[in-house]
Amino acid sequence: MTINPSGWRPEQSAANDSADSPTFTGNRALMLEEPLIFEIGSTATTGIDFEDVPAGGNRLGGLERTAPIGCYGLSEPETVRHFTRLSRQNYAIDLGLFPLGSCTMKHNPRINEKMARLPGFADIHPLQPAETVQGAFAVIHLVGEWLTRLTGMAAVAMSPKAGAHGELCGLLAIRSALEARGDARRVVLVPESAHGTNPATAAFCGYAVETIPATGAGRVDRAALEARLGPDVAAVMITNPNTCGLFEPELKAIADAVHAAGALVYCDGANFNAIVGKVRPGDLGVDAMHINLHKTFSTPHGGGGPGSGPVVFSEALAPFAPLPFVEKQGDLYVLIEEETAGEHHGQSFGRMAAFHGQMGMFTRAASYMLSHGADGLKQVAEDAVLNANYVLRSLEDLLDAPFATSGPCMHEALFTDEGLSGGISTLDIAKGLIDEGYHPMTVYFPLVVHGAMLIEPTETESKASLDQFIGALRSVAERARAGDASLKAAPVHAPRHRLDETAAARKPVLTWKDSAEAAE
């Protein structure tokens, strides 16, 4: 393959544009082709001019770089265009419905962004004296108050930086509590329907993970779980609502049995948007639960961050919560740290992060909570559940819905690829949705059903946008039921067609050298 200096590659453009006649540039009006940076840039080009370093003029003591670093560069305007063009080939919640199950890709109100950018919140430093950042402490405290009240729990740790980090925080508190009573247990029970981060977290904490099966109705098998309880079990981790999109109605009974056996209950509360304002996990016997602020309480996410996973604790675990945290003493917000923990918080297991957590997300969450109010948050849960049930009932005649008779779903609708013709599977339906201009749903998860398609429409979609999505998915599902072989080639309208996903994972093209090898 020849690549000319301007990056124009007629072969590639033609290959990706078999349906239409190729243009000189490979562009199709506003759909702009864009080669990779090492195909159009050069190691000698940069958008910045640096002065030459005078000989012997640095203080690196022999550690200075002696050979060029070899990064491909462009001029400043070319750099801006390169990344802007690439970004236009991406999908985003601001472009359309994002049905990714469990991820809660919902609209993020712009007022939150405006608040987070206020200089008094955005331009401060965690090492500033407490008296100069009282407003920021007030926001952290306010969000913590809302979280403990909404969940009916005794304490909150604000510092964990994602859902999975919150799980780690919760299990570290559980481990500390068990060790404090001289009862170091070794096993954590995780139902089959749990999110994958749950067993990973337990293993990371040094626990042996044992799986508890799901019932045919998509819920945790309570009898199997209770039969396994014993003096070696430290905790049970339950996702509620679970990853089949169902509420676990027996959680209270399970928690009672777990407590009677001397163990603790961790609840994965990442999908709290389905129950916020309706159920308080504290009333169900939960000892620790993380909440994904970036899902339920609205921060843009999905592009690699940021995340924020505060953890709420029961009375039993509160003394072990991590430092630092903000406490209100009279009119002042005071930071409780190692030096100030005193007797009351002396059992804290340590820190999850250097400082307080994701300040920008606390401001967004505070703005979201205050603009919705308690009644608005309750409506969030009602709308999330209503929208998911609308999707479930609008598609169950065409797509296998294994738990459609298990009662209403919660925030997401689960389908499988059973009953399709011509070897068409979940993957082909997902790729067909790309041609319809949608990001695919979550596929092949949860593992408890074969060929899963997990759809979370979220509470922020209107009926009109749900109807359009349902129409698109019905059209793809009808083709799949009829065994339409062209679905196996989808997507055909996207900038890139069906990828060899194994080769993409095993032989990623990340450098000029890879690209030259791939072209051979």
Ligand X SMILES: *Cc1c(COP(=O)(O)O)cnc(C)c1O
Residues forming contacts to ligand X in the complex (CB under 6 A) are: 102, 162-164, 195, 197, 239, 268, 270-271, 292, 307, 309
Closest C-alpha among 169, 149, 146, 167 to residue 157: 169
Minimum Å gap between C-beta 421 and ligand X is 32
Of 308 and 406, which CB lies nearer to ligand X in the complex structure?
308
Minimum Å gap between C-beta 420 and ligand X is 27
Of 13 and 239, which CB lies nearer to ligand X in the complex structure?
239
Minimum Å gap between C-beta 473 and ligand X is 21
Of 240 and 406, which CB lies nearer to ligand X in the complex structure?
240
Instruction: Provide CB contacts within 8 A for 28, sequence distance 6+.
Output: 17, 20
Minimum Å gap between C-beta 361 and ligand X is 11
Minimum Å gap between C-beta 290 and ligand X is 8
Of 164 and 318, which CB lies nearer to ligand X in the complex structure?
164
Distance in angstroms (rounded) separating the CA atoms of residues 400 and 407: 15
User: Letter for the amino acid at 238?
Assistant: I
Q: Please check whether residue 134 is in contact with residue 333, taking contact to mean a CB–CB distance below 8 angstroms.
A: yes
Neighbouring C-beta atoms of residue 302, cutoff 10 Å:
16
What is 337-349 written as a DSSP string?
-GGG-TTTTTT--
Of 197 and 348, which CB lies nearer to ligand X in the complex structure?
197
Q: What is the dihedral of CA 113, 114, 119, 121, to 10 degrees?
A: -50
Minimum Å gap between C-beta 284 and ligand X is 16
Minimum Å gap between C-beta 163 and ligand X is 2
**E strand spans, 349-417:** 413-415
Distances (CA, A) of 104 to 193, 300, 384, 488: 18, 10, 10, 28
The conformation of residue 31, written as its DSSP 8-state character, comes to B
Of 292 and 298, which CB lies nearer to ligand X in the complex structure?
292
Q: Taken in order 391, 393, 397, 399, is the CA torsion positive or negative?
A: positive
Of 161 and 356, which CB lies nearer to ligand X in the complex structure?
161
The conformation of residue 355, written as its DSSP 8-state character, comes to S
Q: Which residue has the CB atom at the shortest distance from ligand X?
A: 163
